[in-house]
Amino acid sequence: RACPAGGPAAMAQARALLTKEPAPQSIPASDLPMKVCEVAVNTGPDSSSGLATAGFRTAKYLPPEWHQSNADQYRKAFTSCEQAERGRAEAKELAEHTAATAQRAQQDSTAALGQRLQDIHFWKSELQKVIEDLTAETGLLAAQKLRLERALDATEVPYTIATDNLQCRERRQPPDLVSDEVERELLKEAELIRNIQELLKRTLMQAGNQMRLNRDLKEVCEIDWSDKVETYNIDDKCGRYSNQSTNIQFHPSSVKFEESASTPETWAKFSHDNIYKAEREKLASINLRALIDNILHDVSEDLRMQCATVNEAFAKHCEELDDTKHKLEHHLKKVVKQIGDQEVNIAALKQAIKDKEAPMKVAQTRLYDRSFRPNVELCRDEAQFRLISEAEELTASVESLKKKLLESEQSLRNLEDTRMNLEKEIAVKTNSIFIDRQKCMPHRIRYPVVLKLAGY
C-alpha cells in the first residue's frame, strides 16, 4: 500500500495551501527505467579475497536480516500513516464536537447570565422599593418628631402660667391663704404638664432612635442595592460578550471559585433578610407614628380639659369671694350703724348720769339741811325715810347707769374691733379677688389652643 503522504488527502491539503494553480510542465513527466547494478560477489571457498575481508564480514548484517529490517520499516510506515489518518479523522471530529460543545456552553452561560440578570433585577427592584418606602416613612416620622418638639415647646407656656398662678396666689393674705380647690387644680395642672413633658421627651427619644434605625437599615439596603446595580452592569456586560468581541482576552487565574463567594441561597437570603428587617422597622415606624398621633391628641385634650377645670375653679372661687365680700360689707354696714347707735346710747347714758346729779344734790342737800334740826326735832319721820330712800334710789340708778355705760363702751369697743376686722377681711377679700381675677385669670387667656398643643 502506498504511503498516505502521496495520497488524495495530502494533495487536497497541498491544494488548500496554494494560492494559485501551478504552472504547466513543458516536458511531460515519465518514469525512468531502473538502473541495474551488478556487483561481482566472490563467495567461493577458494577465493583469495575472502581471507582479505574476513574482518569486515563479521561486522555486517545478513541479507535476511536486512530484508526483515526493511519489512519492519514498511510495516512501521504503514502503521504510522494509518494512525495519522485515523488521528486526523478523530481530530476533525473532536474539533467539530468541541466547537459545538463550546457554542452550546456559551449559549447556556449566556442564558444563565440572563436568568441571573432577572434575579438581580428582581431583588434590586425590591430593594429600591424598600429604600423609597423607608425614605418616605423616615420623612413622615421626622414630621411627627417635629410635632413632638413643637408640642413640647408649647407646654412651656401652660407650665409658666400654672407656676405663675401658684406664685401669685402665695401673695394672698391670711385667712385667704388657704389650700382651696383652685390651688389643688393648679397643682394638678402643673403635675400633669410635667408628666406630659416627660412623656413627650421619652417619645422624642424613641422617635429619634427609630429614625436612626430607619436610616441604618436604609443605608444597608442602599449598599445592597448599589452592589446589585454594579453586579447587574457587570453581568449585563458579560452577557453581551461574544466570540467576535474585541475586548476579550485570556484570564487563566479567574477560572476558580473564590473562597469567600456566596451561594445562591445565601445570596438571596442576604437580600431577603435586609428587606425583612427594613419592613419590620418600617412597620415599627408606622406604629410609632400612630402612637405619637394618639399621644399628641390625648395630651392636648388633657391639657385643655385641665385648663377648663382650673378656669372653672377660678370662676367659682371668685364668685365665692364676691359673695363673701358682699356679706362682709353688709355686716360692716350693720356694725357701723350699731357703732353709731351705740355712740348715741353712750352719750344718752352719760347724759342720764349727768341728769341724776341735780336730783342727787337736791336729796342730799335736803338731808344735810335736815340734819341740823334741833333736839327732838331730829326725828326719823316719813320725810326723812323718803329722802334717804330717794338718795339711795338715785345712787343705785347712777350705779346701774354707770354699769350700763361701761357695758355700752365695751360693746362699742367690740363693735370697733369688729368693724376693723371686717374692714381687714374685706381688704383681704379684695386682694384675693384682685389676685385671682386680675392677675391669674387674664394670664390664663394666653393658654395655647388645642392645635398648638397637638404640635401643629
The conformation of residue 439, written as its DSSP 8-state character, comes to I
Phi, psi of 373 (to 5 degrees): -65, 140
This prediction has a pTM of: 0.68
Number of alpha helices (DSSP H) and beta strands (DSSP E) in the chain:
11, 0
Residue at grid coordinates 494559485: 20
Q: Looking at domain 67-242+263-315, which CATH architecture does it have?
A: Up-down Bundle (1.20)
How far, in Å, CA of 146 to CA of 411, rounded?
71
Residues with Cβ within 8 Å of residue 325, at least 6 apart in sequence? 426, 429, 430, 433
Q: Where are the domains of the chain?
A: 67-242+263-315, 327-443
Q: What is the pLDDT of residue 191?
A: 95
- In order along its 456 residues, the chain shows pLDDT tens digits of 344 444 444 444 434 333 444 444 444 544 545 544 444 445 555 454 555 555 555 557 788 888 999 999 999 999 999 999 999 999 999 999 999 998 999 899 999 999 999 999 999 999 999 999 999 999 999 999 999 999 999 999 999 999 999 999 999 888 888 888 999 999 999 999 999 999 999 999 999 999 999 999 999 999 999 999 999 999 999 999 888 888 888 888 877 777 778 888 999 999 999 999 999 999 999 999 999 999 999 999 999 999 999 999 999 999 999 999 999 999 999 999 999 999 999 999 999 999 989 999 999 999 899 889 898 888 888 998 998 999 999 999 999 999 999 999 999 999 999 999 999 999 999 999 999 999 899 988 888 888 888 888
Dihedral sign computed on CA atoms, order 343, 345, 346, 351: positive
